[in-house]
């Protein structure tokens, strides 16, 4: 599910409130007032063309720690100046100054992000773990700054009587909310308890993920040569290598991770082994030994409940969802429960199709969970006859890049021009940079950095991030955005061919970049994301990959130059709803369970029993498990990022399906000018400066409908 990570987002998560406090550039005054000399290159003001660019060519790992330490110190000084201002608190001297604070640290974090995400090293990881507790302390120093909070509160209270301009009002409310949600209003005793709970939770989260990691590393299934039937040569080779690395030369290792079990369960004809591999995987954290997570989960649920009760909330879900688009757990549950019946009835159809294939082959089995992937692959071959290698011949990375620029030109009126080599510093020669301008005015929007290839030390997957976000409150800032992928670098002169899935992800991440570029917000805080909303824009942009304009101009055979044939396009589109029963049900079971655990009374909860009984109430099909069973549901229990938030993927997907129907129905289809203008104006440009639900209503004239998602997944629509 996490096919991309946004470096900046991760850091902001880590620093929570600091996200509100650390931002842009200082005024001349405050520089003179508080700053000592800054020598470290990572902290320095950016110079050069395009409004200044990061000095990626000059960064060194040894500069990181001193830069971060000095950056935090400078940020805390900024905060002190704000907190101790003798003048009465105003929007300008408190909130706006907070938007301005910590510019040096913000700059240093851009280099930190590259060194951790794009070119990590053992040397850097050591610095990372030294810094982690210091970041946490730094964070507390701001969130628990009594004087600072009192000033924020005064501005907030005043704004409730005499509202500020709409966007300023929103910055004040988001800032205040951030403090309030994290216990700033509690009395001293409760604050201490609050901090103690957080400390305890953080070790429980670590123990939880370490236990899962233990079970992933220690339940390896070793195969002999005779047990490889059905598996591809490539897979077997890598399994042999893994076994050899583990000291089992001559055997083949199936490790207890998704990337290993998925292909094994899909292709292995050894049913007994499939059962064993499946059982190991879905028992992680649930083996009744010292690495069992059931007790830890109970402790986590209790502490979370106690913590939000200190703040006056009924349960964790109410607290968590108040500033999300869904707003309440009921709204999120309503969506999930509306889709659930169709998902499980599609499972019944899929199981019937699979059973028919098994019977026809004379396999003499009843479909069990360890058979699902195996027989669904057989059904896929019969029904769709789609050759992924044939598709690849039409997907060249260079042409896809051109296609994305073309789409951005049609929808956003942007022009992408490669910057002359050497004018903008990069951290690796493979990174390419384009200038983004408005097609008519020629005005500079920003720079787009693309780091396409895998390398040692680069994290897996694909992600988008910004080095500089748009804001206007201290003069207009242009945007520096980047896309990052892990394609294998081709030999010189050879085309880089990618899969349909990878092409889709490439468009997805570019959607995040366009969301950054199109921002029109005045204050940095308003660039922030709302978890169940920020994936929507990027998911939506994926839809332009299969438009006729893109197919005919850019999806051309790498040898013949012919555009992708209509029959092949039709096959791809038809296959898009295949196996939706399985994927929707396994996802939803986890998402519903996540919510139910946090709504239930944790006092005497028995995790194992709760999971079994809840699934029974839901009529969970016996042929498949939850995507993440409770004892290894890291999204929810190894941290707080996705706790009562796992539903967010589907929430964003409803918007995606509904918005893409609006385009499909428009006179000009996906390139309809009026629709494109509304897309930019309401869905992209405002970022978080208006409530996302309100923004969507402005775009569509109504709320998104679940029926669009049902149609998109090929489920029957009963109501309209």
Q: Which residues of this protein are in contact with Zn ion, per CB under 5 A?
A: 4, 535, 538
Nearer to Zn ion, 401 or 484 (CB): 484
**Pair of tokens at residue 10:** 């991760």
Give strand ranges (E) for 309-462.
Answer: 414-418, 432-438, 444-453
Minimum Å gap between C-beta 531 and Zn ion is 11
Minimum Å gap between C-beta 652 and Zn ion is 9
Count of CA atoms in the C-beta half-sphere (13 A) of 565 = 7
Q: Is 465 helix (H, G, I), strand (E, B) or coil?
A: strand
Question: Long-range CB contacts (< 8 A, 24+ apart) of 213-219?
Answer: 214/291, 215/256, 215/280, 215/283, 215/284, 215/285, 215/287, 215/291, 215/632, 216/255, 216/256, 216/257, 216/284, 217/255, 217/256, 218/256, 219/256, 219/280, 219/281, 219/283, 219/284
Q: Which of 587, 585, 611, 616 is nearest to 600 (CA)?
A: 611
**Pair of tokens at residue 259:** 């990337």
Minimum Å gap between C-beta 321 and Zn ion is 20
Nearer to Zn ion, 3 or 65 (CB): 3
Minimum Å gap between C-beta 2 and Zn ion is 9
Rg (CA), the chain: 26
Residue 582 CA to its chain's centroid (Å): 22
Q: 């004239």: which residue's tokens? A: 701
Nearer to Zn ion, 376 or 537 (CB): 537
**Pair of tokens at residue 590:** 């986890």
Minimum Å gap between C-beta 506 and Zn ion is 12
Minimum Å gap between C-beta 495 and Zn ion is 26
Nearer to Zn ion, 89 or 648 (CB): 648
Minimum Å gap between C-beta 4 and Zn ion is 5
Nearer to Zn ion, 457 or 461 (CB): 461
User: Closest residue (Cβ) to Zn ion?
Assistant: 538
Nearer to Zn ion, 535 or 611 (CB): 535
Minimum Å gap between C-beta 583 and Zn ion is 18
Report the distance separating Cα 327 and Cα 330, nearest Å.
9
Nearer to Zn ion, 473 or 642 (CB): 642
Nearer to Zn ion, 4 or 632 (CB): 4
Give strand ranges (E) for 428-497.
Answer: 432-438, 444-453, 463-468, 479-487
Q: Which of 675, 656, 655 is nearest to 665 (CA)?
A: 675
Nearer to Zn ion, 63 or 653 (CB): 653
Minimum Å gap between C-beta 47 and Zn ion is 32
Report the distance separating Cα 344 and Cα 616, nearest Å.
13
Nearer to Zn ion, 519 or 538 (CB): 538
Nearer to Zn ion, 142 or 709 (CB): 709
Minimum Å gap between C-beta 98 and Zn ion is 28
Q: Which residues, other chains included, contact 383 with Cβ-Cβ below 8 Å and sequence gap of 6+?
A: 578
Minimum Å gap between C-beta 513 and Zn ion is 11
Strand 414-418 vs strand 444-453: parallel, antiparallel, or unpaired?
A: unpaired
* Sequence-ordered alpha helix ranges (H) in 388-543: 388-392, 397-412, 500-517, 534-541
- Burial of 244 (C-beta count, 10 Å sphere; 0-12/13-18/19+): middle
Minimum Å gap between C-beta 538 and Zn ion is 4
Contact 277/264 with Cβ under 8 angstroms? yes
Minimum Å gap between C-beta 496 and Zn ion is 22
Nearer to Zn ion, 167 or 535 (CB): 535
Q: Which of 10, 128, 141, 8 is nearest to 78 (CA)?
A: 141
Nearer to Zn ion, 264 or 587 (CB): 587
DSSP state letters, 227-279:
G-TT--HHHHHHHHHHHHHTT-TTSEEE-SSHHHHHHHHHH---HHHHHHHHH
Minimum Å gap between C-beta 505 and Zn ion is 9
Report the distance separating Cα 253 and Cα 674, nearest Å.
56
Residue 380 CA: distances (Å) to CA of 353, 357, 580: 10, 11, 12
Residue 382 CA: distances (Å) to CA of 58, 349, 379, 386, 575: 56, 15, 5, 9, 12
Nearer to Zn ion, 3 or 711 (CB): 3
Minimum Å gap between C-beta 537 and Zn ion is 9
SS3 of the chain: helix, strand, coil, percent, to 5:
60, 5, 35
Count of CA atoms in the C-beta half-sphere (13 A) of 600 = 18
Nearer to Zn ion, 535 or 586 (CB): 535
Nearer to Zn ion, 4 or 304 (CB): 4
Minimum Å gap between C-beta 3 and Zn ion is 7
């Amino acid at each position: 599910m996490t096919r991309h990570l946004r470096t900046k987002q991760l850091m902001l998560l880590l620093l929570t409130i600091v996200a509100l406090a650390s931002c842009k550039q200082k005024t001349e005054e405050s520089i003179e007032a508080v700053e000592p000399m800054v020598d470290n290159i990572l902290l320095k003001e950016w110079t050069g063309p395009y409004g200044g660019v990061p000095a990626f060519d000059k960064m060194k790992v040894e500069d990181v720690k001193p830069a971060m330490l000095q950056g935090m110190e400078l940020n805390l000084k900024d905060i002190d100046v704000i907190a101790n201002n003798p003048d009465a608190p105003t929007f300008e001297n408190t909130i706006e100054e907070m938007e301005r604070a910590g510019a040096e640290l913000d700059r240093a974090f851009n280099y930190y992000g590259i060194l951790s995400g794009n070119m990590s090293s053992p040397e850097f990881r050591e610095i990372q773990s030294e810094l982690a507790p210091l970041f946490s302390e730094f964070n507390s120093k701001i969130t628990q700054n009594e004087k600072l909070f009192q000033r924020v509160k005064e501005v907030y209270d005043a704004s409730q009587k005499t509202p500020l301009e709409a966007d300023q009002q929103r910055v004040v409310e988001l800032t205040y909310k951030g403090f309030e949600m994290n216990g700033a209003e509690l009395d001293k005793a409760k604050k201490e308890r609050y901090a103690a709970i957080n400390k305890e939770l953080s070790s429980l989260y670590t123990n939880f993920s370490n236990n899962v990691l233990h079970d992933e590393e220690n339940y390896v299934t070793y195969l002999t040569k005779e047990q490889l039937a059905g598996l591809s040569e490539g897979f077997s080779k890598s399994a042999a290598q893994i076994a050899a690395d583990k000291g089992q030369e001559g055997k083949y290792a199936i490790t207890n991770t998704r990337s290993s079990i998925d292909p094994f369960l899909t292709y292995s004809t050894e049913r007994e082994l499939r059962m064993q591999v499946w059982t190991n995987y879905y028992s992680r954290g649930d083996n009744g030994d010292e690495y069992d997570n059931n007790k830890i989960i109970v402790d986590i649920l209790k502490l979370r409940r106690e913590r939000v009760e200190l703040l006056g909330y009924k349960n964790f879900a109410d607290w968590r969802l108040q500033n999300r688009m869904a707003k309440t757990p009921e709204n999120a549950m309503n969506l999930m429960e509306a889709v659930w019946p169709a998902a499980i009835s599609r499972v019944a159809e899929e199981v019937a199709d699979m059973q028919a294939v098994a019977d026809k082959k004379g396999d003499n089995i009843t479909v069990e969970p360890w058979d699902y992937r195996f027989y669904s692959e057989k059904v896929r071959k019969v029904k769709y006859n789609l050759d992924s290698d044939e598709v690849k011949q039409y997907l060249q990375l260079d042409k896809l890049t051109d296609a994305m620029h073309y789409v951005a030109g049609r929808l956003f009126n942007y022009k992408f021009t490669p910057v002359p080599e050497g004018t903008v510093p990069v951290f690796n020669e493979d990174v390419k940079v384009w200038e983004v301008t408005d097609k008519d005015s020629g005005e500079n929007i920003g720079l787009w950095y693309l780091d396409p290839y895998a390398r040692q030390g680069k994290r897996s997957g694909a992600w988008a991030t910004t080095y500089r976000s748009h804001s206007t409150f201290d003069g207009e800032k242009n945007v520096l955005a980047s896309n990052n992928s892990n394609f294998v670098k081709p030999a010189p002169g050879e085309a880089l061919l990618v899969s349909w899935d990878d092409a889709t992800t490439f468009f997805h991440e570019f959607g995040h970049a366009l969301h950054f570029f199109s921002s029109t917000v005045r204050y940095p805080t308003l660039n922030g994301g709302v978890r169940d909303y920020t994936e929507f824009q990027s998911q939506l942009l994926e839809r332009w990959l299969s438009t006729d304009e893109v197919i005919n101009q850019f999806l051309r055979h790498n040898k013949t130059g012919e555009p992708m044939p209509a029959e092949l396009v039709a096959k791809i589109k038809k296959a898009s709803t295949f196996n939706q029963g399985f994927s929707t049900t396994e996802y939803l079971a986890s998402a519903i369970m996540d919510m139910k655990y946090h709504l239930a009374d944790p006092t005497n909860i028995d995790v194992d029993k709760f999971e079994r009984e809840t699934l029974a109430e839901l009529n969970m099909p016996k042929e498949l498990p939850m995507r993440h069973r409770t004892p290894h549901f890291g999204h929810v229990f190894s941290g707080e990022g996705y706790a009562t938030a796992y539903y967010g993927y589907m929430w964003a997907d409803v918007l995606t399906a509904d918005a893409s129907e609006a385009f499909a129905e428009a006179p000009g289809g996906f390139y309809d000018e009026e629709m494109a203008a509304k897309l930019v104006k309401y869905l992209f440009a405002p970022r978080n400066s208006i409530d996302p639900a309100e923004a969507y209503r402005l775009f569509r004239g109504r709320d998104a409908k679940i029926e669009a998602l049902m149609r998109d997944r090929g489920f029957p629509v009963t109501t309209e």
